[in-house]
Amino acid sequence: MMQFGYRTDTGKTRTENQDALLVLPKYGIYAVCDGVGGRRGGEIASRKAVYGIEKYLISHPMDEANTLEGDYRTNWVKSYFYQCFRRINADILDYAASHKEMEGMATTAVLCYASGERLHLVNIGDSRAYAVRDGEITQLTEDHSYVNALINAGTLTKGEAEFHPKKNMITRALGAMEQAEPDFYLYDAKRGDRVLLCSDGLTGELSDEEIRDITVKEKNANGIVKALVKAANARGGGDNITVIALIV
């Protein structure tokens, strides 16, 4: 059985936590959302997202997925979460339209659906999924951010991106546009793999190598998330920090 641990923390400089997480091992669902927007808009957006995922799972059982195999199952899951994110996006937009003070509210989301040892990953924004295997760390998702677009275009290096004034600018989010366009990834896990879902409050303070070292060192999932949050706060804790750790 997959082991999991999770933790969210306000950090050292923020006065409220606009991150939210969802842990539903019964469904094999794990998600991290990082709200953006003025006042309480980000907090409401991220909580609407996790509530919306849970509500969709309950009202749309995934029983059909269990009857499918291979690419048929993968495509079904992709369509399922595309529709789920589409509804959440519409809900956030509707809320912002009826509460003018919440204009601009939005949230990132990274979700993992664990189907056996095959992990289906969905992301929009710059919250991330990582895998640590045999002492190596791999970023499983790609950031929807201004600096990542520059990196992909070859006009900015990863090192330069760390100090870019727009490094926190995201280009996609739930509630930020009329159509939500998440990306989908597959990861075939094997026994002993450690998978992380996290908000940028972690990755903004710790390098991938530091995240890897802590993840490898700790013996269980709860130890991983506690140590990662502690390290991010020790580095400055400039943002809310949320981490879910899975050990296959």
Q: Are 79 and 70 in contact (CB under 8 A)?
A: no
**Which tens digit of pLDDT belongs to each residue from 166-184?**
777 789 999 999 988 999 9
CATH, residue 66: 3.60.40.10
User: In sequence order, what are the beta bridge partners of 122?
Assistant: 111, 184
What average pLDDT does this structure show over 201-229?
A: 97
Q: What is the mean pLDDT of the chain?
A: 93
Strands (E), 118-175: 118-124, 128-133, 136-139
What average pLDDT does this structure show over 162-169?
A: 72
Q: Does position 20 have pLDDT exceeding 70, yes or no?
A: yes
Token pair for 171: 């280009």
What average pLDDT does this structure show over 95-108?
A: 93
pTM over cut 0.85: yes
List of residues 6+ apart from 67 with CB closer than 8 A: none
**Other CB atoms within 10 A of residue 87 CB:** 16
Spell out a b/e string for 139-160, using b for 16 or more CB atoms within 10 Å of the CB, else e: ebbebbbbbbebbeeeebeeee
**Which tens digit of pLDDT belongs to each residue from 35-63?**
997 668 999 999 999 999 999 999 999 98
Helices (H), 99-145: none
Residue 148: per-residue pLDDT? 80
Residue 133: per-residue pLDDT? 98
Query: What does the alpha-carbon distance between residue 183 and residue 125 come to, in Å, rounded to a whole number?
Result: 10
Q: Does position 101 have pLDDT exceeding 80, yes or no?
A: yes
| One-letter amino acid for residue 118 of the chain | R
Query: What does the alpha-carbon distance between residue 164 and residue 147 come to, in Å, rounded to a whole number?
Result: 7
* Angle (CA) 141 233 24, round 5°: 50
Q: Kindly state the percentage of the chain with pLDDT values over 70.
A: 98
Grade residue 160 by pLDDT with cuts at 50, 70 and 90: low
Q: How many domains does the chain have?
A: 1
Token pair for 166: 């727009």
**Count of residues in the chain:** 248
Helix, strand, or coil (residue 228): helix
Grade residue 189 by pLDDT with cuts at 50, 70 and 90: very high
Q: Are 19 and 240 in contact (CB under 8 A)?
A: yes
- Domain with 47, as residue range(s), is 3-247
Helix, strand, or coil (residue 35): strand
Residue 152: per-residue pLDDT? 79
Residue 169: per-residue pLDDT? 79
Q: Does position 216 have pLDDT exceeding 90, yes or no?
A: yes
Q: Are 218 and 177 in contact (CB under 8 A)?
A: no
Q: Does position 31 have pLDDT exceeding 70, yes or no?
A: yes
Token pair for 101: 């003070």
Q: Is 37 left (phi over 0), alpha (psi -120 to 50) or beta?
A: left
User: In sequence order, what are the beta bridge partners of 243?
Assistant: 7, 198
Residue 151: per-residue pLDDT? 75
